[in-house]
Amino acid sequence: MLDRIDHVGVAVEDLEASISLYEGTLGMPAVHREVVAEQGVEAALLDVGDGHVELLSPLAEDTPVGRFLARKGPGLHHVAYAVADIEATLGQLTGAGIALIDERPRTGIRGSRVAFLHPRSTGGVLTEIVEPHA
């Protein structure tokens, strides 16, 4: 159902400092940066092997990542798995009794389509599925 880990999402307070840490110190090339208004974040994507780290900086306090930072501080936010067909996967997950945050895919970065699963169904881990842009 899930092909591979696509990325881990990390909530950050200072995007520039975090890019400097992941790229400059940890050696992961920053390959993409984008404001995703629909999710209330500015995101930076860094390559690590076949996967990515996605740094998420909130556009405002009253956004999901802004509320996460206020509650928990910076840190690991979600794990994302790549899928070939996001609608089919959402159907399979629903059939398996997994609670969804997103009933329908929404727009992710780099033209991907994404949906979040509810952590109460996934052992407390906020889980995203991603259908990468063709």
Element spanning 46, H or E:
strand 41-48
Largest interatomic CA distance in the chain? 44
Minimum separation from the CB atom of position 110 to Co ion (A) = 11
Q: Which residues bind Co ion (CB under 5 A)?
A: 9, 54, 80, 128
Closest to 83 in 3D by CA, of 74, 73, 75, 93: 93
Q: Name which of 6 and 23 has its Cβ closer to Co ion.
A: 6
Count Cβ atoms below 10 Å from residue 86 Cβ, excluding itself: 21
Q: Which residue's CB atom is positioned nearest to Co ion?
A: 9
User: At its nearest, how many Å lie between Co ion and the CB of residue 78?
Assistant: 6
State in angstroms the smallest separation of the CB of 128 from Co ion.
Answer: 5
